Amino acid sequence: MSEHVLVTDDAGFPALINGDKPVIVDFWAEWCPPCRAIAPVLDKMAGENPQVITAKINVDQSQASAAKYGARRWTVSSVRPNRCWHNCLRRENRSDGKQHGGKPAYAAEIEYAGKNYAGWQIQPNALTVQQVLQDALKVITGRDIKIKAASRTDAGVHARGQLAVIDVPAYLVPDRLQKGLNALTPPDIGITYAAQVSADFNLRTEVTAKEYIYVVHCGNTPPVLDREYCRWLRKYPSAEKMREIIPLLTGRHDFHAFRAANCGSPNTVKTLESICISEEPYGESVRITLKFVGNGFLKNMVRIMVGSITDYALGKIPKAAFEAALTENGTRDMLGMTAPPEGLTLHHIYTRKPLQDYRINAGNHTEIP
């Protein structure tokens, strides 16, 4: 295991600067609760890379040496006097008497494999993606913080571009938040982007559409390497025939028949902007990809559409079943099966403008070679 050093005064710097190993330095303060809470992250970094020394620098006693040596040797935070790496002012140096600033919002893009989780949203007696992330946030901040997501994926469903808003204290620099969460979560969950946005950033008003992708593997041989990310069918449903259903489903409809029995959404009218169905050879097999873009989706809605479109292409249900299901008297039993969750991925969340354009602070973390 690598060394883990706590430097409490200027005398500790020469030993580091003259060493043979690279050093990762974090500016630290005893009076800052998040600094104390983040210690497990540094411990993990030290344990995973024996060639690196991790050092915590006490900002109250080592500012002179930080300025003198930092640019030569370390990856450091751009801290000002009396600030830790959270950019957190000491209590006595704030005119308002508060240690931390306001309550900004942080937008984060999240990727996860859904196999081990009962969906996104917290549930009693079940492990969910939201629960794992909020537990990690509590380690970092010492507080109970709720994460709000743009889409609540079902059990077993994956996400490549989930968008969430996190209300964390102002002292957390976005890339520190990202690195801290990635260090404290399992390898099947990752924060791929994080930025501070305006406090009035609202998912309900800024999100314009959501994109889901479902993959069907058709062939005699089941998929092996990516079997957890597609549905396997021995029979081949014609993609051309599947496309015959697209005009029936696209547009604004009441999709009450295309939802799970336990779906509690009060609004079942949704606008399905587009459905794209493509196919390509995959060895001796064929991969069919269905892409759905809409302003919102009910519980199991995409999976019911995929299962029903597939059943239609295989001759199991008639086209009239879709027409009837979209009427006021439409019911779930008119349609086909619910496709299994492993083939479905929340691919992208569309917002009124690119996510990077919402950023209000580029952060104050600087990588120095």
Q: Which of 159, 215, 218, 212 is nearest to 339 (CA)?
A: 215
Q: Which of 10-24, 119-133, 188-202, 314-328 has the weakest average pLDDT?
A: 10-24
Residue 193 DSSP SS3: strand
How would DSSP label each residue in 271-289?
EEEEEEEEEEEETTEEEEE
pLDDT of 325 above 90: yes
Alpha helix locations (H) across the chain?
13-17, 33-37, 39-48, 63-73, 129-141, 174-184, 203-206, 239-242, 246-249, 301-313, 320-325
DSSP-derived pairing of the beta strands 158-166 and 344-351: parallel
pLDDT tier for residue 366 given thresholds of 50, 70 and 90: very low
Q: What percent of the chain has pLDDT over 90?
A: 56
* 200: number of Cβ within 10 Å: 8
Cα separation, 340 vs 306, whole angstroms: 10
Cα(29)–Cα(9) distance, rounded to whole angstroms?
A: 12
Chain mean pLDDT for the chain: 79
Angle at 115 between CA 221 and CA 160, to 5 degrees: 95
Mean pLDDT for 79-84 is 43
| Mean pLDDT (whole number) for 147-171 | 91
pLDDT at residue 105 is higher than 90: no
Q: Is the pLDDT of residue 46 over 70?
A: no
Q: Is 154 a catalytic residue?
A: yes
Mean pLDDT of 97-109: 61
Report angle CA 137, 139, 141 to the nearest 5 degrees: 65
Confidence band of 238 (pLDDT split at 50, 70, 90): very high
Determine the pLDDT at residue 299. 95
Q: So what's the pLDDT on residue 198?
A: 81
Q: What is the pLDDT of residue 360?
A: 80
- C-beta atoms surrounding 161 within 10 Å: 20
Give the dihedral of Cα atoms 119, 121, 122, 127; nearest 10 deg: 20
Q: d(Cα 208, Cα 352) in Å, to the nearest integer?
A: 6
Q: Who has greater pLDDT, 250 or 264?
A: 250
Q: Which residue has the higher pLDDT, 87 or 199?
A: 199
User: Is the pLDDT score of 174 beyond 50?
Assistant: yes
Pick the closest to residue 209 from 30, 347, 25 (CA basis): 347
- The hierarchical CATH code for the domain 105-205 is 3.30.70.580
The conformation of residue 138, written as its DSSP 8-state character, comes to H
Report the amino acid identity of residue 344.
Answer: L
Asked whether the beta carbons of 367 and 24 are under 8 A apart, the reply is no
Q: Is the dihedral of CA 158, 160, 164, 170 positive or negative?
A: positive
In this prediction, what percent of the chain has a pLDDT beyond 70? 68
User: What local confidence, expressed as pLDDT, does residue 232 receive?
Assistant: 96
Give the pair of three-digit tokens for residue 106.
Answer: 């942080």
Q: d(Cα 260, Cα 188) in Å, to the nearest integer?
A: 26
CATH number of 4-90: 3.40.30.10
Region of 119 please: left (phi>0), alpha (psi -120 to 50) or beta.
left
Q: How confident is the model at residue 85 (pLDDT cuts 50, 70, 90)?
A: very low
Residue 355: pLDDT band with limits 50, 70, 90 = confident
What is the model's pTM? 0.74
Res 43: pLDDT: 60
Answer whether residue 9 shows pLDDT above 70. no
Residue 83 has pLDDT above 50, yes or no: no
Query: What are the residues whose beta carbons fall under 8 Å from the beta carbon of 202, sequence distance 6 or more?
Result: none
Task: Give the pLDDT band of residue 19 (cuts 50, 70, 90).
Answer: low
Q: Which two tokens stand for residue 153?
A: 């994926």
- Give the pLDDT of residue 99: 34
**Is there a contact between 254 and 324 (Cβ–Cβ < 8 Å)?**
no
pLDDT at 110 over 90: yes
- CATH, domain range 208-350: 3.30.70.660
Q: Say which range, 76-80, 179-183, 291-295, has the weakest mean pLDDT.
A: 76-80
Instruction: State the Cα–Cα distance between residues 116 and 84, nearest whole angstrom.
Output: 37
Listed by start position, the domains of the chain span: 4-90, 105-205, 208-350
Cβ–Cβ under 8 Å, residues 115 and 127: no
The model's confidence at residue 80, banded by pLDDT at 50, 70 and 90, is: very low
pLDDT category of residue 177 using cuts at 50, 70 and 90 = confident
Higher pLDDT, 98 or 119: 119
Matching fold, domains 4-90 and 208-350: no
8 Å CB contact between 307 and 216: no
Among 154, 200, 226, 254, the active-site one is 154
Highest mean pLDDT among 26-40, 95-109, 245-259: 245-259
**Residue 4: per-residue pLDDT:** 45
